[in-house]
């Protein structure tokens, strides 16, 4: 599978860098402002899904309901908090093996892309000093459907000029693995096998490769 791939498509959070902790802090802060607790266990439900869907889940946990305009303002508030947290990111926060593996793929002539729901993806890659290793970045600014919909990965394939059968997706979230499989791609799950049952291969991190 990995030996024959022509394109490698990486999710961002939990695969390239652990920004999940910063997302959690931002959502936790917003929940506090709204007057209810939000735990790390609750946060598991938000991984791999869009900002607005994440907000819907958060409000569901808090038993609250708001109009569309208020929700948009809350999502923007959460994003401002998140951007404040990640503004200090640097390449020391790259997950183990990331730079080595991406560089090895480039040396083999494999096209490299980012396929992420994050609207801050390009900013984060710049902060990590690895933007130059990616041939294309498809993020929440380019697609409208959240994972497990396959739109982000199919769009990335088109930008690379490759077919789904030529690409391998690297994902840490169940919704992302489902999106990769729905797109017709092989998927490498990064994390715990019991949570990523439909992935073709599960590893603990890119350092294993």
Catalytic positions are: 11, 13
Q: How far is CA 21 from CA 24, 43, 100, 171, in A?
A: 5, 10, 24, 17
Return the closest-CA partner of residue 201 out of 165, 160, 170.
Answer: 170
CA gap 108, 58 in Å, rounded: 43
Q: What is the sign, positive or negative, of the torsion defined by CA atoms of 197, 182, 18, 159?
A: positive
CB-based contacts of 158: which residues, under 8 Å, 6+ apart? none
């Amino acid at each position: 599978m990995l030996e024959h791939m022509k394109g490698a498509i990486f999710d961002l959070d939990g695969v390239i860098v652990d920004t999940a902790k910063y997302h959690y802090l931002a959502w936790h802060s917003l929940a506090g402002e709204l007057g209810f607790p939000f735990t790390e266990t609750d946060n598991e439900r938000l991984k791999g899904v869009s900002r607005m869907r994440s907000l819907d889940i958060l409000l569901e946990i808090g038993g609250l309901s708001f109009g569309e305009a208020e929700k948009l303002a809350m999502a923007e508030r959460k994003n401002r908090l998140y951007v404040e947290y990640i503004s200090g990111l640097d390449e020391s926060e790259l997950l183990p093996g990331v730079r080595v593996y991406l560089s090895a793929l480039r040396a083999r002539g494999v096209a490299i892309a980012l396929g992420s729901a994050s609207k801050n993806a390009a900013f984060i890659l710049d902060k990590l000093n690895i933007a130059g290793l990616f041939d294309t970045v498809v993020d929440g600014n380019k697609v409208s459907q959240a994972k497990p919909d396959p739109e982000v990965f199919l769009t990335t394939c088109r930008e690379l000029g490759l077919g789904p059968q030529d690409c391998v997706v690297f994902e840490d979230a169940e919704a992302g693995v489902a999106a990769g499989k729905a797109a017709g791609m092989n998927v490498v799950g990064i994390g715990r096998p019991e949570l990523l049952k439909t992935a073709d291969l599960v590893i603990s991190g890119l350092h294993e490769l």
